[in-house]
Amino acid sequence: MRLLNKILITGVLLGFTLSLTAQEWTAPADQKDKTCPLPFDTKMQQSGKDIFNKNCKSCHGEVGKNNPVPLSPDPGDPAAEKFSVNTDGELFYKITMGKGAMPKFKDMLSENDRWAIISYIRTFHPDYKPANGDVIAPTEDNTFKGDNVKLFVDLDQVNLTATVNVQGDENGETKPANGVRVGFFIKRNFGLLPVCDPVTTNDKGIAIATFPGDLPGDSIGNYKMIIKLIDSDVFGEVEYTQNINWGKKFIYENPLDHREMWGNRSNAPLWLLITYFTLLLGGLAVIGWVVLQIMKLKKS
Ligand code: HEC
């Protein structure tokens, strides 16, 4: 009995110390040197930002704002040292496998998506040296940091192209807003239909998209085009809307307009009408005949 107690107590103590030392999460050594097959670039970092905000922000908070959800162990802000001391391979391993409250993303995100997140997180690590050489450094310095942006839209009616020029205020000056993502949509009954992937503005603040010619419009081919900035958390809702005749004529056909089984009144199928009236007239004739017979009875 005593021995059992001792074993139990040692077990509990051991478990306790183990859980204390288990604070550090280390990836297996053979995962350390794994690197992304593609060089990180701004496009990848942008999509990494979206994927992060959808899948990770709920626990890790906004990167760089140090506002992770208080869990145990602490998820940590990906901008912090807790993350930056990891090699790319270690980050990849941890995101892939998860641990405790940190979900396993192996089956939830593709490898590319996991690498995109890492490329985004790395933009917050000033000492990060890309493992695979010719990585395009985050263009932090010349990206537009102002606000109050405006959209100027030029529509090419022949090629169905929308050229968007985004200009904003930075330190009291009007400047082209580069690195801003612009979404192109058409309005449908239930929400917005994206026409293409979001386009990032270039150094001149310009983003161009071509609308497909076969999008259904209304009966004369009109639809409502909506062009807006995707990073609305930074710039607020900046939107351009325009009714335009770039769609295909779409004539709504009412299924009740044809002679069909489900048609009503004059559109009922002929055979049904004939059957119906034959039966109706037949019925009336029988009643009439019966009445006639009864009248004959009285007379006699
Ligand atoms: C449900 C909450 C939750 C979500 C969602 C979540 N994490 Fe975590 N994450 C945690 C917690 C808790 C830890 C700490 C785990 C530990 O140290 O045992 C953690 C740890 C990590 C670590 C390890 C940091 C270190 O100690 O080296 C990385 C990397 C990480 N998360 C990345 C991500 C990424 C990327 C996503 C989104 C794809 C994500 N996490 C989504 C809760 C979460």
Position 132 confidence tier, pLDDT thresholds 50, 70, 90 = low
Question: Would the CB of 101 count as within 6 Å of ligand 1?
Answer: yes
Structure tokens at 80: 């912090």
Position 119 confidence tier, pLDDT thresholds 50, 70, 90 = very high
Q: Could you give the domains of the chain?
A: 31-135 (1.10.760.10), 147-244 (2.60.40)
Mean pLDDT (whole number) for 35-56: 89
Residue 257 Cα to ligand 1 middle (Å):
59
Position 248 confidence tier, pLDDT thresholds 50, 70, 90 = confident
Average pLDDT, the chain: 84
pLDDT for residue 159: 87
Say if residue 32's pLDDT is above 80: yes
DSSP secondary structure letter of residue 251: P
Residue 210 Cα to ligand 1 middle (Å):
39
Mean pLDDT (whole number) for 201-214: 88
Say if residue 20's pLDDT is above 50: no
| Burial readout 1-29 (b: 16 or more C-beta within 10 A, e: otherwise) | eeeeeeeeeeeeeeeeeeeeeeeeeebee
Percent of the chain predicted with pLDDT > 70? 86
- For residue 207, what are the β-bridge partners? 164
| Burial readout 189-201 (b: 16 or more C-beta within 10 A, e: otherwise) | eeeeeebeebbeb
The better pLDDT of the pair 3, 119 is held by 119
Number of neighbouring beta carbons within 10 Å of residue 286? 10
Residue 128 Cα to ligand 1 middle (Å):
20
Question: Would the CB of 83 count as within 6 Å of ligand 1?
Answer: yes
Say if residue 138's pLDDT is above 50: no
Indicate yes or no: pTM above 0.75. no
Question: Would the CB of 27 count as within 6 Å of ligand 1?
Answer: no
Q: Which ranges of 75-231 would DSSP assign to H, the alpha helix? A: 81-84, 88-97, 111-122
pLDDT for residue 200: 87
Site to substitute for ligand 1 among 20, 45, 47, 60, most atoms within 8 A of C-beta: 60
Percent of the chain predicted with pLDDT > 90? 43
Question: Would the CB of 99 count as within 6 Å of ligand 1?
Answer: yes
